[in-house]
Amino acid sequence: MDNGLIKFYEIHSVSGLTFRFKLDLNPVTKDYEPHIWHRHQIEPEQVVSAYMNLSEKSWNFKYNRYECYSETDDLHIYLNYYSKDETKIMVITAFKL
């Protein structure tokens, strides 16, 4: 809880970019943690690093999102931008195959 309100996102600002990570409630600890950690054991810092090293980025029309891959970090990232200049990034999920 944050000021009596449920906390929905964790924000990381790096090199002029703002990354927003959805939070999930851990039913065991009752703490909010990033979805990418809760589901895939990926830390937000790993996503930021992988984003800086993207090797592939394509638009998925069916799901209305960018699907990216960093070969350097071996990490897949699904994201969207919430600013026209692409400096504000909503991370949908991130995972390794």
Report the C-alpha gap between 88 and 57 in whole angstroms: 16
pLDDT at residue 49, as a whole number: 97
Q: Is the pTM for the entire model greater than 0.85?
A: yes
- Phi/psi of residue 48, each to 5°? -60, -45
Q: How many structural domains is the chain composed of?
A: 1
The pLDDT confidence band at residue 3, using thresholds 50, 70 and 90, is very low
Tell me the pLDDT tens digit for each residue of 46-67: 999 999 999 999 999 999 999 9
Burial class (CB in 10 A: 0-12, 13-18, 19+), 74: exposed
Report the C-alpha gap between 96 and 72 in whole angstroms: 12
pLDDT at residue 6, as a whole number: 53
> Is 4 part of any domain?
no
User: What is the extent of the structural domain holding 39?
Assistant: 9-95
Report the C-alpha gap between 1 and 73 in whole angstroms: 33
> Is 1 part of any domain?
no
